[in-house]
Amino acid sequence: MKLLDIGVLSKQSGVPPSTLRYYEEIGLIQSVARNGLRRQFDPPVATQLALISLGKLAGFSLEDIKRMFAKDGSPDLPRAELHERADALDEQIKGLTRLRDALRHVADCPAETHMECPKFKRLVQFAARSASGRTR
Amino acid sequence: MKLLDIGVLSKQSGVPPSTLRYYEEIGLIQSVARNGLRRQFDPPVATQLALISLGKLAGFSLEDIKRMFAKDGSPDLPRAELHERADALDEQIKGLTRLRDALRHVADCPAETHMECPKFKRLVQFAARSASGRTR
DNA sequence: CTGCCACTTCAAGTCAACTTGAGGTCAACA
DNA sequence: TGTTGACCTCAAGTTGACTTGAAGTGGCAG
């Protein structure tokens, strides 16, 4: 199997080498060899990095993410918890969707006073409610 | 108009008083009066707080959020930028949706080796791609 | 064989977003 | 009138996620 030099992986993934080293230090990813000094990674690490960036996007801490995946990078949670996470994501998606709708409403609504606009308030309160099943 | 004591607002919104003071310090919200020592807030601040928590959920920094809203808390961006933000949210929602789908797939897929499963990889790579229009 | 450059380690620094602690104040209740 | 409790200020501490800097190394290009 062809290995990826840290520099190559970094370029490919957009993640700086310092961050890759940091991720390895905290056990989030693993290098499998060295070429001289240089870390070499298995290609699937690229998928892992994609997963990590998604996890961050979803607001998970690196610790959370670490707990969600085995060292080979494949998800490592009991079925039930996976569904729980997925459900939580659904909630979050709902919140973001309503925030988006609120922004679009504001862009199109001629009213001066959005804080008083019932439609706006409804959108925001609703959105915040579904958002309050918190992650961070 | 009835004002809210910081303690009341805190209880109502779930945001600790220390955080409310901090938010005021950085100019994100404003108290309008004091009762003795105690800060008093206008009720619409509650809506502002909802908006702030949504913004954080979406991965915006407090600085970003501050720039997006006028001091009265109503969104304060040119129309075009509002649409841009909304579009960015759409991208983020797509990413999260695919992450969710990936998690559900894993929960239901009997394969041992998700990192090799083409469906899983496809979901993740796709998701990461739409996520890379970055926010933070 | 000599540079060069991207890597290496390790410690320390940075930034955002809060929280905590010390020492003080006020109003309301017993 | 005195005590209580929730607030006040201001400075310093904390946590997570990195980045930066100093001092060193290894392989490849010329």
Q: How many Å apart are CA A35 and CA A5, to the nearest integer?
A: 8
DSSP code, position A74? S
Considering chain A, what is the average pLDDT of its residues?
88
Nucleotide with C1' nearest the B136 CA: C16
Determine whether the interchain pair A58/B104 forms a contact, defined as Cβ–Cβ distance below 8 Å: no
Contacts B103 to A, Cβ<8 Å: 75, 82-83, 85-86, 89
| A80, pLDDT greater than 60 | yes
Token pair for residue A16? 């700086």
Q: Please state the pTM of the whole predicted model.
A: 0.90
More confident residue, B111 or A105: A105
Q: What is the mean pLDDT of residues B128-133?
A: 61
Q: How many Å apart are CA A17 and CA A14, to the nearest integer?
A: 9
Strand-by-strand arrangement of the A4-5 sheet: A4-5, A38-41, A33-35
| B49, pLDDT greater than 90 | yes
More confident residue, B113 or A57: A57
| A135, pLDDT greater than 60 | no
Q: How many Å apart are CA A115 and CA A94, to the nearest integer?
A: 21
User: CA A21, C1' D21: Å apart?
Assistant: 16
More confident residue, B38 or A120: B38
Q: Which residues contact B101 (CB under 8 A, 6 or more apart)?
A: B123
A112 pLDDT band, cuts 50/70/90, is confident
In which residue are the tokens 């070499």 written? A40
Nucleotide with C1' nearest the B38 CA: D7
Q: Are A119 and A109 in contact (CB under 8 A)?
A: yes
| B52, pLDDT greater than 50 | yes
* Per-residue pLDDT, B131: 62
Alpha-carbon Rg of chain B, whole angstroms?
A: 20
* Portion of chain A with pLDDT greater than 90, in percent: 57
| B103, pLDDT greater than 80 | yes
Contacts A94 to B, Cβ<8 Å: none
3-class DSSP state of B34: strand
Q: Are B104 and B28 in contact (CB under 8 A)?
A: no
Q: How many Å apart are CA B30 and CA B73, to the nearest integer?
A: 10
Token pair for residue A42? 């298995």
Q: Among the listed ranges A18-22, A120-124, B86-90, which one has the minimum average pLDDT value?
A: A120-124
Distance of CA B76 to the CA centre of its chain: 16
